[in-house]
């Protein structure tokens, strides 16, 4: 039985996949389902996973991914996309669940509900905003939008990592790619202007030469700082 350590150590960024492997697309479907369980900011789940499978779309996507081997040899590609335009539907969904969960507790503090009913509209749409982090007018609005963009990309990245670990557990491989023409990909996927493509993940089964070298990590003392 694989341990989590086995799964983490197995995962590598694979640049060449085996074209002869008996690829099972159901593995991708199950990994995407697990990706929806990834932690995300305020349970807003403002992401989309664009699964590219058709030969025609794969060819277009490979070109938009700048001809990287990780894209050219993949069986499937998955784009992890932020969805800032869905903030209201997600806030309403969460607020309804919270209201129902506390329906039998009449003395619940109002701030429990206000988080989704007031704070989320303020953060995601600027409703009622006079200033934001001490900034007013255009500066405050610009900072708010930038903070939201960072928040959503963090959540999308966590989903992508969960997806890649799920593939590793199944013995499949992946490569997260940031090298792509985002405007071109948005056109191909029919995405709105405000969406971000956090990353594109290629999927398949590794060839030995798909691992470009030994794993290199800096010393633990360089990255773990105790306080």
DSSP string, 72-130: HT-SEEEEEEE-GGGHHHHHHHHHHHHHHHTTT-TT--HHHHHIIIIIHHHHHH-TT-S
Within the chain, strands assigned E span: 47-52, 76-82, 131-132, 135-136, 173-177, 197-204
pLDDT surpassing 80 at residue 103: no
Between CA 179 and CA 147 the distance in angstroms is 23
> Quick one: average pLDDT of 130-158?
97
Q: What is the pLDDT of residue 99?
A: 86
Question: Quick one: average pLDDT of 190-219?
Answer: 97
**Which residue ranges make up each domain of the chain?**
4-87+144-223
How many beta carbons lie within 10 A of that of residue 23, not counting itself?
A: 18
- Per-residue pLDDT at 113 exceeds 90: no
In terms of residues, how long is the chain? 227
pLDDT value at residue 34:
98
Share of the chain above pLDDT 70, in %: 100
Q: What pTM does this model have?
A: 0.95
Instruction: Name the CATH superfamily housing domain 4-87+144-223.
Output: NADH Oxidase (3.40.109.10)
Helix (H, G, I), strand (E, B) or coil at 171: coil
């Amino acid at each position: 039985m694989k341990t989590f350590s086995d799964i983490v150590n197995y995962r590598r960024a694979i640049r060449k996949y085996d074209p002869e492997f008996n690829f099972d697309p159901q593995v991708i479907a199950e990994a995407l389902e697990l990706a929806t369980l990834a932690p995300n900011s305020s349970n807003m789940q403002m992401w989309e996973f664009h699964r590219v499978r058709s030969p025609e779309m794969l060819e277009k996507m490979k070109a938009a991914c700048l001809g990287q081997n990780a894209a050219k040899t993949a069986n499937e590609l998955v784009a992890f996309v932020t969805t800032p335009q869905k903030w209201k539907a997600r806030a309403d969904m969460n607020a309804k669940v919270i209201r129902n969960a506390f329906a039998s507790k009449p003395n619940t503090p109002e701030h429990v509900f206000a988080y989704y009913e007031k704070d989320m509209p303020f953060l995601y749409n600027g409703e009622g905003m006079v200033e934001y982090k001490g900034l007013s007018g255009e500066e405050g609005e610009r900072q708010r939008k930038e903070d939201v963009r960072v928040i959503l990309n963090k959540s999308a990245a966590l989903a992508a990592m969960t997806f890649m670990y799920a593939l590793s557990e199944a013995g499949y491989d992946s490569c997260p790619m940031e090298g792509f023409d985002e405007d071109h990909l948005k056109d191909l996927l029919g995405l709105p202007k405000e969406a971000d493509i956090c990353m594109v993940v290629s999927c398949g089964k590794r060839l030995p030469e798909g691992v470009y070298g030994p794993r290199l990590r800096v010393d633990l003392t360089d990255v773990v700082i105790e306080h």
